Chains A and B, each alone.
Chain A
C-alpha cells in the first residue's frame, strides 16, 4: 500500500464517520488483472478496499448525479475538471461534493501494452512502474518501456494531473510527463488526409459501432436525462446500427459535449469495438480552445461555454 492510498483510506473513513458525506466514490481492486472497479459505498468498513494505482481508469464523476450529496469522491486531475464542469452547468452544487484529489501519475493503457508485448492483458504477469520506466513481465521475460509509450493518450496531453479544484489533495503535485504531440498524432494524421479519405476512414470506423452507448454512459459530460437518440417523436436518428446513423450519433454527441469534454479519454477506452473516439473529442477540444480560448472545467465560476453569449464571438451573419 502506498502513502496516498493509506492517507485516502483514513480520510475517507473519517468523512463517513463524521457524517460529512453520505457516500464515498473511489476505486477498489478489480476482478481481472490490472483493473480497478468503482467503489460506491456508505459503509466505512469498505474504505479499507480503496486503492490508488496506475489502473484507476474510470472518470468517477459520472456517478455523482445518482447519489444524494454530500459525497466524497476520489478525483484525478481530469475527473476534477469534469466535476467543475458539472458545477458550471448547475448539475451539482459545490458543497455537495468533497473532492479527494489524487495527484495522478497517469493511467496505463492496456491496449498499448498488449500491442507492445504482443500478448493479451491476462497473459501478462506483472506491470510495474518506476518513475519514467515501466517493466512488463510476460512469458518469463521482463520488457522495459518508457512511460510515454504506455500511458493513455489523454494522459499524455494532461496539463494538470493533480486537481486544481479539491477539498483535500492527497500528495504532492506531480510533474507532467506528457507528450502532447504524441498524444495528438492520430488527430494530425487524420487532418493530413484529403476530406474524401477522412470520410472513408470514419465511415469504416463507424461501420462496426454496435450502438451499445458505452461512450455516452461513461461520459460525465453526457448528463442529459433524455438523449436525442431516444427521441421518437420525431425520431432524430434511426436506432438501426448503420454507419450513417452511428456517425450522426457520435458527431452529435461530440458537439453536445463541446466545452464540457475534459479529454479524460473514457469514451475511447470503453468502446468495445475500438473506435478512436478521442480523435473526434480531442479535435473538438482543440477547436473550442482555438475559437473561444476556453478549457472545460478549469473555472467553476465561469459561465458554461455553450450557454454564455459574448458579443465579440458573434459571426457576421448575426450582427
Chain B
C-alpha cells in the first residue's frame, strides 16, 4: 500500500522554488493540510504545526531531536473513548482524520517510516498508524550538513536523496530543487504556487549538493553478515554484559529512535467514562517485560541485547531490512555516549549456531 514508485523525471519536468517563497508555498498548502515544519518553539527541535510565518528553520535545521515518527505514531494517542450507561459500555472510536504535510523530513527519518510500515501492516493492520500514514504527505529535504553521529550511508541511505517521500527537495543555494517522487507528491505540486522550471544547471547544482552531503557522512559501519553474527553471539553473556555495563537504561535511545515503535496501552477512567490510550514504551525499561510470574529481561544486558538484536537481527529476518537508518540520535543524545556502532563493530565471531 505504501510502496514508493520512483519516477525518473527529465529535466524539463523539474521544478524549483526560491527559499524566500517557501512561506507562501506553506501558506497555500495550509488551506488543505495541517502543515508541520521543523520548529524549536517548544524548547526542543521537532516537527510542529507551522505558525504561518517562521521559515528560519531553513538556516538552523539539521535534524529534529524528536523524530517525525511522533507525527505518525504520537507519544500518546487516544484509541477510543468509552462511556457507561444502563446497557453497558458504549465505545466511540477515535480516527485520526487530519490531512497533514510533514515538510523537511530527512531521508533517514522517511526511510524509518517505510521500515515501520512493515510491522504496522503485517498480520494485524494498525488502523491508527496506517490512517495517519495515508493522510500524510512527506516533503523531504536533503541534508547539507549531517551530524558527526550520522551513519545513514552505511545503511544504504543517501542523506540527500530519497524514494521514501512524496516530494524531495534539494538545497541549491538560494533555491530548492523539487523532485516529484509519488502520485501524492504530484498532486501536492498541482496545488502549489511560486514554482518555476528548473534548468539543467540547477540539476547539476543539485547533483553537486547531494554528492557533497554524501561525502560529509564520515561515520561508517560495516553491516556485512551482522544478523548472523548477532545470532551466533546471542548467548555470549560476557560480551553483552561488557557492552551494557555503562548503559543507564533510560529511554532516550528508543524514544528518539525513528524506527522504535513499541507502545504501552493504558485506560483512563473516571466515573464510568474515559478513554483507552497508547503511549511510547521502551525495551530499555525493566517494567517493559515484567509479567506476574517472571521477567525474561530482568538484567540490563538482556535489554541492551534486545534493542540491538531487534534492529540488526530480528527485523532483518522478519522483513528483510535492518531497522536502523543511521540517524545517530541514539549516539548524539545518550547521556553516557553508548554508541551502537561501537557495539556492532565489537560483536565477536562465533561459529554459526
**Min CB gap B315→A, angstroms:** 22
Q: Does A89 contact B (CB under 8 A)?
A: no
Q: Which residues of B contact A272 (CB under 8 A)?
A: 44, 65, 252, 255-256, 333
Cβ of A30: which chain B residues have Cβ within 8 Å of it? 337
Tell me whether B279 and A240 are in contact (CB under 8 A): yes
Q: Do A240 and B251 form a contact, CB below 8 Å, given A32-B332, A37-B246, A122-B147?
A: no
Q: Is B280 an interface residue (CB 8 A)?
A: yes
Find out whether the CB atom of B148 lies under 8 angstroms from the CB atom of A240.
no
24 contacts between A and B (CB under 8 A): A31-B337, A32-B149, A32-B337, A37-B337, A37-B338, A37-B339, A58-B335, A205-B43, A208-B44, A212-B251, A212-B252, A213-B251, A214-B250, A214-B252, A217-B248, A217-B249, A218-B335, A239-B266, A240-B76, A240-B266, A270-B252, A270-B335, A272-B65, A274-B44
Known contacts being A32-B149, A240-B279, A272-B256, is A63 close to B76, with CB within 8 Å? no
Query: A153 CB to closest chain B CB, in angstroms?
Result: 17
Assembly CA distance A36 to B287 (angstroms):
29
Besides the contacts A36-B337, A210-B75, A213-B285, what 10 more A-B pairs have beta carbons closer than 8 Å? A31-B337, A32-B331, A32-B337, A37-B246, A37-B336, A122-B147, A212-B250, A213-B250, A218-B335, A272-B252
A-side contacts of B183, CB under 8 Å: none
Smallest beta-carbon distance B242→chain A, Å? 8
Interface string of B154-177 (1 = CB under 8 A from A): 000000000000000000000000
B264 within 8 A of A: yes
What band does the interface of chain B fall in when counting residues whose beta carbon is under 8 Å from A? 35 or more
Give the residue name and chain of the A residue nearest to B265 (CB). A239
Closest Cβ of chain A to B280, distance in Å, is: 7
Distance (Å) between the CB of A246 and the closest chain B CB? 11
Return the CB mask of A45-80 against B: 1 if under 8 Å, else 0: 000000000000010001100100000000000000
Question: Which residues in window 264-306 of B have CB below 8 A to A?
Answer: 264, 266, 268, 277, 279-280, 282, 285, 287
| CB neighbours of A152 from chain B (8 A) | none
Residues of A with C-beta under 8 A to B339: 31-32, 37
A66–B246 alpha-carbon span in the complex (Å) = 10
Q: Are B252 and A238 in touch, CB under 8 angstroms? A: no
Residues A239 and B264 in contact, CB atoms below 8 Å apart:
yes
CB of A40 within 8 Å of the partner chain: yes
B residues near A62, Cβ cutoff 8 Å: 248
A-chain residues with CB within 8 Å of residue B335 when the two chains form the complex: 58, 214, 217-218, 266, 269-270
Report A-chain residues with C-beta under 8 Å of the C-beta of B145.
123
Pairwise interchain contact B149-A273, C-beta atoms closer than 8 A: no
- Judging by beta carbons under 8 Å apart, are A208 and B43 in contact? yes
Is A171 in contact with chain B by the CB < 8 A criterion?
no
Contact partners of B66 in chain A: CB under 8 A: 210, 273
Give the complex CA separation of A33 and B44 in angstroms: 22
Residues of A within 8 A of B342 (CB): 31
Specify which chain B residues have a CB less than 8 angstroms from the CB of A207 in the assembled complex. Answer: 42
Asked if B245 CB lies within 8 Å of chain A CBs, one says yes
Q: Is B62 an interface residue (CB 8 A)?
A: yes
Q: How far is the CA of A212 from the CA of B255 in the complex (A)?
A: 7
| Complex CA–CA separation, A311 to B213 (angstroms) | 68
> Which 3 pairs, one residue from A and one from B, show the smallest C-beta to C-beta distance?
A122-B148, A212-B251, A214-B250
**Nearest A residue (CB) for B332:** A32
Confirm or deny: A242 has a beta carbon within 8 angstroms of a beta carbon on chain B.
Answer: yes
A35 adjacent to chain B (CB < 8 Å) = yes
Instruction: For B255, list chain A residues within 8 Å (CB).
Output: 210, 212, 272
In the complex, which of the residues A35, A213, A274 has the most CB atoms of chain B within 10 Å of its own CB atom?
A: A213
* Contact A241-B279, Cβ < 8 Å, known A214-B248, A214-B251: yes
Using CB atoms, name the residue of chain A closest to B245.
A40
Counting chain B CB atoms within 10 Å of each CB, the highest count among A41, A63, A230, A239 belongs to: A239
Taking CB atoms and an 8 Å cut-off, the chain A residues in 267-319 that contact chain B are: 269-270, 272-275
Chain A residue, CB-CB nearest to B340: A31
Give complex CA distance A208, B280 in Å.
Answer: 14
- A208 near B42: Cβ-Cβ < 8 Å: yes
* Contact partners of A36 in chain B: CB under 8 A: 337
- The proximity string for A residues 254-275 relative to B, scoring 1 for CB distances below 8 Å and 0 otherwise, is 0000000000001001101111
Q: Give the Cβ gap from B288 to chain A, nearest Cβ, in Å.
A: 11
A78–B337 Cα gap in the complex (Å)?
A: 20
A166–B264 alpha-carbon span in the complex (Å): 45
Is A126's CB within 8 Å of the partner chain B? no
Distance of A46 from chain B, by nearest CB (Å): 10
Q: Which chain A residues lie closer than 8 Å to B287 at the CB level? A: 230
Say whether, besides A38-B246, A122-B147, A122-B148, A273 and B268 are in contact (CB < 8 Å): no
Shortest Cβ distance from residue B48 to the other chain A in the assembled complex, whole angstroms: 10
- A120 at interface (Cβ–Cβ under 8 A)? yes
**A273 touches which of B44, B282, B331, B341 (Cβ 8 Å):** B44
Q: Is the CB of A239 within 8 A of B250?
A: no
Q: B43 contacts A274, CB within 8 Å?
A: yes
Q: How far is the CA of A39 from the CA of B245 in the complex (A)?
A: 8
- Tell me the nearest residue of chain A to B62, going by C-beta: A120
